[in-house]
Structure 1
Amino acid sequence: MTKYFLPLSILLLISFKASANFDVNANCIQAYKNILSFKLSAARQQIDREKATHPQNGYALLLDNYYDYFWMLSTESKSDYDRLKGNKADRLDKLEDEDKASPYYNFALAQVQLQWALLNSRFGDNTTAGFAINRAYRLLNDNQKKFPAFLPDDIPLGVVTVALGALPDGTLKSVLNVFGIKGNISNGINLLQSVTARLPQSAYAMYYDEAVFYTTYLQADVVNDPQAYTKMQQYTARMDNGSLLKSYIQGYIALRTGHSTEAIKYFDKRPEGNEYQPYPYLDYLTGLAKMNILDNTANNYFNKFLQTNKGVNFIKDTYLHLAWDALLDGNIKRYEAFAQLAKTKGYIYNEKDKRALTEIADPQYNPNLLRARLWFDGGLYEKALALLKDKNADNYSTVHDKAEYYYRLGRVYDALQRDSNALVTYQQAINTGKGTSYYFAPMSALKMGNLYEQRKDSNHAISYYNMAIGFKNHQQENSIEQKAKEGLKRLKQ
């Protein structure tokens, strides 16, 4: 009996040790939930306690990386990025020594790669991001073959698949093409929507909030799903009201989908207290939402963001909006001062800041068109329409303003589902703006392609998508071209 018992006991010990290398215990689960709620101080204590109590637990290494990732999301600090990015290699080295038979092995390695790739790209380190995405993609595909029932894999795999499909031509896409990696937006978003729906009833329900975080963002910002706001409301209904991530998701998606009034309510209701990591970005977003409805307290939030923010992103865009506010007040001296700050302060790692720098170099905004733009962004479509219809293109003296007038009017008609009117005014924007460096003509061609695609008129849709691609050397060229190519891809399927 003894000769059989001893090898069996050794086998059990080996098995226990291997599985314990990724021990997702109650303390780890709570630390993970606190990270996603932006309760980073409590999470740090729990992670440190886990590492002291169970030093061989590889899951604590993954939690360390989640902590750094959410810390960076909250600070946007370049100095923090430079200080923390060295942690990546050390964690990967340690994780590679963990239990290779666990589904968490490749998952953990891939998450470290992906999270740092997302941070790399935020600070313009696109080549490093490209290599990291390549490694994450391969690890996740391998894991999916080995452990097809391991649902957490589908979250980063969906993100990578969408991101790769949405990349405009450029350095990062070129790096990934070398590896033969191509994404697909539709496949990626379908994977994310599926895993988001399945997680609550699964053994991996703890990952639900993370799935919602990525799914809602990509639905609104990349896919431009017309149901993104409604889906967000459904997804976030089961999230904890004490989570700052929930408030961010609700407010951000509301803002991005023309619901600025609702966005303000979400941000106003966000949980507060010393247990939450400071998140100045939410003040910036609140400022945007308030400015979209011409609320005169918007400046308070922009100024608070500038005072408390230690990061490098959204600074130029904040000064641009402060300049716009001065312009709408008729204070040209203050406008010029903020315009100069938009040019000289901040950085251009972020797309919003790049566009801010471009826009502040454009001719001074016509206040009437600016109000219409802001009201449109805020979802006040009828107010924007009334403002625009009060004048016509002949009331504007420059080609820039005439083309923008038609474009803004087309966008409002489009949002109000007055498709025939939208198509006419978009075409007028194309006729007026072609040959300039402004985005009004190519964006109008893209929007016409969208409308014809919705009407199942493939011939016209293809024609206008190709027209959008054909415009060169203009603002937002990469973004517009990528979206037009995605439209052509959909029509070929």
Structure 2
Amino acid sequence: MAQENGYKAGFTSKLQKAYSEIQKLRLQPARELLNAERKTQPDNAFVPYLDNYADLHYLLISEDKNAYKQLSRLEEERLDKMAKLPDNSPYKRFLQAEIRMHWAFAKLKFGNEISGSWEIIKAYKLLEENQKKFPKFLPTLKSLGLLHVLIGSIPENYTWITRMLGLKGSIQTGIQELRKVAEEEPVFRQEAELIDLLLHAYTLHLSPAQLARMRQLPEEQPDNLLYHFFATTIFLKENKGEEAAGFLAKAPSGSAYIPFPFLDYLRGEIKLQRGDYENAQESYLLFQRKYSGFNYIKDSNLKLFMCFWLDNKDQEATRFINKINAGGSTIVEADQSAQRFAEDFLAGKISPSNKILYKARYATDGGYLLQAMKIMDAVSENSFRSWPEKTEFNYRKARIFQKSGKINQSIPYYERTLTLSRKAAPGFGASAALQLGYICMDKKDKVKAAGYFKTAMSFKKHEYKNSIDNKARAALTLLGE
């Protein structure tokens, strides 16, 4: 049937150019290339595959609910086109799996977790089958490697689900597969390398060499907006606010690129961390004016609250607390955290003394460590009344010492955090245990490291449960546990 329809999979030079343009977030020129190729090659499976790839990038960035409803109807149609490829083509199952993975990420982004999870399971089965049928076909490993890492970092109390569904994960195997593609498969090299770096940044642990590589990518492709975006977010995550600001300042713009209001949110984050409250407000408000999505609404209102509250303009701050309750979703952790803060603040559970802790937190997040230490040196544990505040005081001190390279000075504060967190603030206890695990890992004390990672996972309900458990599980896997 496939051969009767004459369907084929040819990644022509023009289509490879479109693929590259999508990865740069230059969606308009990418679609022009795709439309031109569609006219001359209507039966080429790579055209609907790249249509789908472009749609994924648009949906993840725009969070356009109407477009999501309309575009999601095209999934089955595109899968049907992939099904027309001959059974002896290694691209048949690979492209079917790619389309399912694209929609898995889109559905998870839009809060359709069950449907998104089933897409991942179906994609995994297709990739596994393709790997058995065509073991030398390297593109399979790009996506299979990603899934192997994600499945391998699932917390232990959920692994029974993956076993029941026949999903096998291994962080080491997944990383090896991604690197094999990056080294030996020129077409998918860029995507495989970026996936590898992002997995280390957000699930595993970035090495100095990987951080250096992340610095190089935007320099190698100054017209690549996606590289500038990820460099900004990764360096923010690594507490290097000034470097992040540099990548953001050089980010390309223009009509060829997809509108990206989230970049204004990131500008606000950097200014808030610097303590530049007035300019931070402007960036967050600009983000809200341009943005029509649903994530980070609550969080940006929290940050606007902070811009006034930390500047001792409490009356102006109040209206943004009320806005947190009024709109936005709670899909991402940042919005969940904002919602909890608003509820606690309105219930009178957050005292003015918390301003010190938030100022120190934001300064630390941006890598302004001297400023953060100066803030914290003005107070002691006894300056705070509640157990959560005392716990956070010790955690903040520990983080500043750790980020300043004074590892041994951070340890007692992390241990004190662990002790106090049993009475309250389990999130800080879990975070402290995770960091102590990393410290012991760096010191080659595998037994102690494993103990701390297990302790991190033992904390029950808290706002960072999923991300901390994933990181701890990934670290335990690397330790052979």
| TM-score of the alignment, normalized to the shorter chain, above 0.5 | yes
Q: CA shift at 1:235, angstroms?
A: 4.4
Q: Matches of 2:275 and 2:187 in 1, distance apart?
A: 40
Q: Indicate the residue corresponding to 1:4 in structure 2.
A: none
Q: Write out aligned runs for 1:427-466 (5 A).
A: 427-466=415-454
Are 2:291 and 1:309 equivalent residues in the alignment?
Answer: yes
Are 2:300 and 1:289 equivalent residues in the alignment?
Answer: no
Q: Matches of 2:174 and 2:267 in 1, distance apart?
A: 30
Are 2:225 and 1:244 equivalent residues in the alignment?
Answer: yes
Contact 1:162–1:184, Cα closer than 8 Å, also in 2: yes
Are 2:261 and 1:280 equivalent residues in the alignment?
Answer: yes
Q: Matches of 2:300 and 2:56 in 1, distance apart?
A: 24
Q: Indicate the residue corresponding to 2:401 in structure 1.
A: 413
Q: Write out aligned runs for 1:332-343 (5 A).
A: 332-343=314-325
Q: CA shift at 1:253, angstroms?
A: 1.6
Q: Write out aligned runs for 1:14-413 (5 A).
A: 21-168=8-155, 176-196=162-182, 198=183, 204-227=185-208, 228-238=210-220, 240-296=221-277, 297-362=279-344, 363-364=349-350, 366-413=354-401
Identity %: 29
Q: Which runs of 5+ in 2 are unaligned?
A: none
Contact 2:426–2:460, Cα closer than 8 Å, also in 1: no
Contact 1:40–1:276, Cα closer than 8 Å, also in 2: yes
**Number of matched pairs:** 471
Contact 1:316–1:357, Cα closer than 8 Å, also in 2: yes
Contact 2:284–2:300, Cα closer than 8 Å, also in 1: yes
Q: Matches of 2:216 and 2:114 in 1, distance apart?
A: 37
Cα gap change, 1:400/1:74 in structure 2, threshold over 3 Å: closer, same or farther? same
The aligned amino acid for 1:347 is S
Contact 2:60–2:109, Cα closer than 8 Å, also in 1: no
Give the 4+ runs in structure 1 shifted more than 4 A.
168-171, 173-177
Contact 1:213–1:249, Cα closer than 8 Å, also in 2: no
Cα gap change, 1:81/1:286 in structure 2, threshold over 3 Å: closer, same or farther? same
Contact 1:260–1:378, Cα closer than 8 Å, also in 2: yes
The aligned amino acid for 1:231 is R
Q: Matches of 1:106 and 1:361 in 2, distance apart?
A: 48
Q: CA shift at 1:288, angstroms?
A: 1.4
Q: CA shift at 1:68, angstroms?
A: 0.8
The aligned amino acid for 2:330 is I
Q: Matches of 2:366 and 2:265 in 1, distance apart?
A: 15
The CA deviation string for residues 198-247 of structure 1, in whole angstroms up to 9 with x for no partner, is: 15xxxx43433322432222221111324342231244543x21121221
Contact 1:372–1:408, Cα closer than 8 Å, also in 2: yes
Q: Matches of 2:157 and 2:477 in 1, distance apart?
A: 19
Q: Secondary structure of the equivalent of 2:188? A: helix
Cα gap change, 1:348/1:135 in structure 2, threshold over 3 Å: closer, same or farther? same
Q: Matches of 1:427 and 1:249 in 2, distance apart?
A: 33
Q: CA shift at 1:106, angstroms?
A: 1.8
The CA deviation string for residues 243-272 of structure 1, in whole angstroms up to 9 with x for no partner, is: 212211221222121111111111111111
Q: Indicate the residue corresponding to 2:460 in structure 1.
A: 472
Contact 1:316–1:345, Cα closer than 8 Å, also in 2: yes
Contact 1:127–1:175, Cα closer than 8 Å, also in 2: no
Contact 1:168–1:479, Cα closer than 8 Å, also in 2: no
Q: CA shift at 1:59, angstroms?
A: 0.9
Cα gap change, 1:151/1:235 in structure 2, threshold over 3 Å: closer, same or farther? farther
TM-score (norm 1): 0.89
Contact 1:317–1:352, Cα closer than 8 Å, also in 2: yes
Between 403-412 and 183-192, the greater mean CA deviation after superposition: 183-192
Contact 1:293–1:380, Cα closer than 8 Å, also in 2: yes
Q: Matches of 2:154 and 2:286 in 1, distance apart?
A: 33
The aligned amino acid for 2:203 is V
Q: Indicate the residue corresponding to 1:8 in structure 2.
A: none
- RMSD of aligned Cα (Å): 2.4
The aligned amino acid for 1:405 is F
Contact 1:131–1:176, Cα closer than 8 Å, also in 2: no
Q: Matches of 2:211 and 2:275 in 1, distance apart?
A: 22
TM-score (norm 2): 0.91
The CA deviation string for residues 45-80 of structure 1, in whole angstroms up to 9 with x for no partner, is: 221222222111111110111111111122012222
Q: CA shift at 1:25, angstroms?
A: 1.3
Q: CA shift at 1:100, angstroms?
A: 2.7
Between 95-104 and 148-157, the greater mean CA deviation after superposition: 148-157
Q: Secondary structure of the equivalent of 1:420? A: helix
Q: Matches of 1:299 and 1:491 in 2, distance apart?
A: 44
Cα gap change, 1:314/1:182 in structure 2, threshold over 3 Å: closer, same or farther? farther
Q: CA shift at 1:280, angstroms?
A: 1.1
Q: Secondary structure of the equivalent of 2:453? A: helix
Q: Which has the higher contact order (CA 8 A, sep 6+)?
A: 2
Contact 1:216–1:249, Cα closer than 8 Å, also in 2: no
The CA deviation string for residues 96-148 of structure 1, in whole angstroms up to 9 with x for no partner, is: 01133222222211110111111111122122122111121122223233334
The aligned amino acid for 2:109 is R
Q: Matches of 1:74 and 1:174 in 2, distance apart?
A: 33
Q: Matches of 1:478 and 1:33 in 2, distance apart?
A: 33
Contact 2:171–2:477, Cα closer than 8 Å, also in 1: no
Between 271-280 and 415-424, the greater mean CA deviation after superposition: 415-424
Q: Which runs of 5+ in 1 are unaligned?
A: 1-13
